[in-house]
Structure 1
Amino acid sequence: MNNASTTKVSTEWLCNSNEAVEIQLHQSNYKDRFSPNFTYPIFGKHEQIYGYKNLKIKLYYASGSLSTYFNVSFDQKITEITPVAQPDDVIGKIKEFIPKDFTTNYDTFLNIVESDSLNFRPMGEKIDEYYTRRNDNGDDTVYEIYKTNFNTPKFKEFHRRLQIFALFYIEGASYIDEDDEKWEIALLFEKKNTSGTHIYNLVGYCTMYAYFYCDRGKITSVEKSLPQNSTLSHDIRMRISQFLILPPYQSQGHGNKLYQSLYQSFLANSLIKEITVEDPNEPFQDLRDKNDLRYLIDSKLLENIQLPVDKQAVENTRHKCRLNKRQMARCLEIYLLRKLNKTNEKSYKNYRLHVKERLFRHNEDALNQLSREERLQKLEETYRDVEDDYQRILLLL
């Protein structure tokens, strides 16, 4: 076979793995259908599957318990045409990432969905709830937030079904260690009242990890996790790791509600001295900025801070709101920009110098390799980008 023919056959038998995977959340009388954003952890960086025509990979979940139906179908397999060709082992690859308690019988799955809708209840401790108006009748829908960990009965089994959603929707995500007791997980459920029966549907979740906290202004130390047998009696740096609202519930304010609830629970815990986030993507950083700023403004913690900034006053405020230094500096700069009168040339200059001083410290090694003129130009360009981004954040408030 010539190269042109080989290329044609190869392309003909390739499909995009994101498009091949179909996810459904099944309620007793309703289902949501959607596709993953990422499948490279399962099928490789090119997110392609070889050897099938019209391939469909079905991962259906009971919307509360996440009991799973798994099925793979296709119109044609390349071995029917070219026996020596080796198609990708789709079933084997998926099985590496889901627990063994799935069913391949659709009728059995529907029976499980019906049963779970009546019997499933969230695990862990309920820490908050909120209401939204969702339908034309004006009926309130209740949403409940539960905090749990891997010692909670039945949670490990639930989490093994849940964790693949992190791979599908959080770039760079990986599975967390269920044997590490320092993980905490918050689960957000929709609570529906159907004919007097409460039915729970998973909306989203957040994983968090408790690290030792040490004041880096006093002690130079790498971040260390708490000992395995610790009773969490030490000061804690709480790190948000994975934060996800499932696609059917996105852009409805649930991410804000979950973040606000967790933030208040952190503030209520005197052992938690600082709140950090692991490698936030832009949408989550926006959510974080917006909610941290709202809290700081509503609580009037920044009311008396103005340029030139009293660094000790800022540090005292930071300890009260538990933000890490980078996030505190970012929120303060956005807040000062919000108050700034740009027509006052002196005030605007002082603000620019304040921001540029931080930018220089953050990029000092790279900037010192430039000439003075190049350094000033680079700082000005970076400052403009930062101010534009801050203006964008202010529009979200």
Structure 2
Amino acid sequence: MGGDGAEFTLPDGMSIRALPKVSLHDHLDGGLRPDTVLELAAEIGLELPADNATALAAWFAEQSDSGSLVEYLKTFQVTTAVLQTRQGLMRAAHEFVLDLADDGVLYGEVRWAPEQHLTRGLTLDETVEAVQEGLEAGVDEVRASGRIIRVGQLLAAMRHAGDGREIAELALRHRGRGVVGFDIAGPEDGFPPSLQQPAFDLLRDALMPCTVHAGEAAGLDSIRSALVDARALRLGHGVRIAEDLEVEALPDGEPGGFVTLGPLAQWVKDRRIPLELSPSSNLQTGAIAQWGQTLDAHPFDILYQLGFTVTVNTDNRLQSRTSLTRELSLLADTFDYTIEDLQDFQQQAAEAAFLPVEDREELADLIAEGFASAIAHGAAR
């Protein structure tokens, strides 16, 4: 299907980009445009590994394709470096919204770590206000063009940098003013959610929703801690919940088989805890290495077929050279998904959004209408 500039279609020729979408796991500092990185770096005198947008985009993709989350995260030393000013944050947030809208996104949650943007004198509150101003400018521009989009902030505490309480307090201060939830990010292995217990206790008492990066670079214990200690309503990635599945193949290579769910997997499935799966990123960071090195080895399909609440996400569009359209296209190609399957993924993401139930229902209606229109249009061709 080529690069992200291609017009991704289903086998019947229906455009995937035109379909309404929900984006739940998308990092601000992983969603910059390469030319924006170049321009912001020039303003602060930052030397980059490439001097043009094409070469810089290739550098990010190559550096990210290491099979290691730790190595993957090193690319963010560049993107966070250019996001240390109010104008830089505003511009990145503004363009973030425009790029989501161009990809057919109706609702998006942008996650980022304010504590990583303080080296040029901004306070934590000023960083959040700058991002919110940029997001609102983007939303206004999208709506002026006759389209619909809504965006909320997820504030992330870096899991290796303390107990997270300061960022939890920050999220609560800006609740109702753009912030819709809390997350922890950074190196997962060795830094379980329980280390941020003070933050999660505070958020629990304030009834602030949380999603937690878990089940990416660490396994079932990390997922259990996210659910039990952090009381996460969603799992950021969560792909390694598949370690709690026992698959018994049929003899002689016959298709099919039997799957037994362990207690943690059963809990996640039965409680419909959403998995924020990011297929391309999961390949790059080695999150699915135990199952294989290609997308057809990703547990996405078995989790979907078993009835888990799966959502499709980009994680970092710059590092993975991707978009939601591309991720959906790759999945459709790999697992022969239909437009009805793609609609399922969007409806499950809409239900998982950190929005009031009335707004989630409205979003679900917009998705249903958009898919119905696309199907009718395709049938009429």
Same fold (TM over 0.5): no
Higher fraction of helix: 2
Higher relative CO (Cα under 8 Å, sequence separation at least 6) belongs to 2
Q: Which has the larger radius of gyration?
A: 1
